[in-house]
Copies of this chain bind each other. A is one copy, B any other.
Amino acid sequence: MMSSEPEFVPDGSVTTPKGFVAGSAYAGIKTYAKDKWDLGILLSEKACATVGVYTQNKFVSPSVTLSRQNVDAGAVRGLVVSSGIANTGVGAQGMADAKETVAIAAAHAGLEPGEMIIGTTGVIGVELPMALIRSGIPNIEVGRDGGERFARAILTTDRAPKSAAVRFELGGKTVTIGGCAKGSGMIHPNMATMLVYLTTDASVERDVLSAALTDVVDDTFNMVDIDGDVSTNDMVVLFANGEAGNKPAVAGSAEARALTEALAVLCRFLCVELMRDAEGSSKIFTVRVEGARTREDARLAARAVASSTLVKAAIHGSDPNWGRAIAAVGYSGAEVDVDKVSFFINDVAIMEAGTPISFHREAVIAIMNNPEVSLTVKLGIGDGAATAWGCELTEEYVQFNSAYTT
Residues of A within 8 A of B (CB): 56-60, 86, 88-91, 123-125, 186, 189-191, 227-232, 308-310, 313-314, 316-324, 326-331, 335-336, 338-339, 341, 351, 354-356, 361, 365, 393-395, 397-399, 401-406
Contact = CB atoms under 8 A, between A and B. Distances in A.
Contact of A228 (B308, B356, B398, B401): B308
Contact of A338 (B59, B308, B401): B59
Greatest chain B CB density within 10 A among A88, A310, A323, A331 is at A323
Given A59-B330, A327-B59, A405 B319 contact: yes
Given A319-B403, A338-B59, A89 B351 contact: yes
Contacts of A341: 59
A404 B313 CA distance: 10
List 9 tightest A-B contacts by C-beta distance, closest first: A317-B402, A124-B323, A59-B330, A91-B355, A313-B401, A57-B330, A230-B331, A58-B336, A125-B356
Nearest to A398: B395
B89 A331 contact: no
Contact of A314 (B231, B327, B402): B402
Contacts of A191: 310, 323-324, 327
Most buried by B among A86, A88, A331: A331
Contacts of A186: 310
B401 A327 contact: no
A233 to B, nearest CB: 10
Given A228-B308, A361-B406, A356 B90 contact: yes
A227 B131 CA distance: 43
Contacts of A330: 57-60, 230, 232
A330 B86 CA distance: 15
Contact of A227 (B229, B310, B322): B310
A321 B189 contact: yes
A267 to B, nearest CB: 22
A112 B227 CA distance: 49
A232 B90 CA distance: 43
A303 to B, nearest CB: 13
A174 to B, nearest CB: 41
A109 to B, nearest CB: 30
A397 B394 CA distance: 10
Contacts of A229: 308-310, 324, 327-328, 331
B402 A398 contact: no
Contacts of A316: 398, 402
B327 A125 contact: no
A313 B351 CA distance: 34
Contacts of A355: 89-91
A59 to B, nearest CB: 3
A156 to B, nearest CB: 13
A179 to B, nearest CB: 25
A211 to B, nearest CB: 25
Contacts of A318: 404
A327 to B, nearest CB: 5
A380 to B, nearest CB: 13
A329 to B, nearest CB: 7
21 contacts: A57-B330, A58-B336, A89-B323, A89-B326, A90-B356, A91-B355, A124-B326, A190-B321, A191-B327, A229-B309, A229-B310, A229-B328, A313-B398, A314-B402, A316-B402, A320-B405, A321-B405, A365-B404, A393-B398, A394-B398, A395-B395
A336 B402 contact: no
A394 B60 CA distance: 29
B336 A228 contact: no
A336 B309 CA distance: 27
Nearest to A338: B59
Nearest to A59: B330
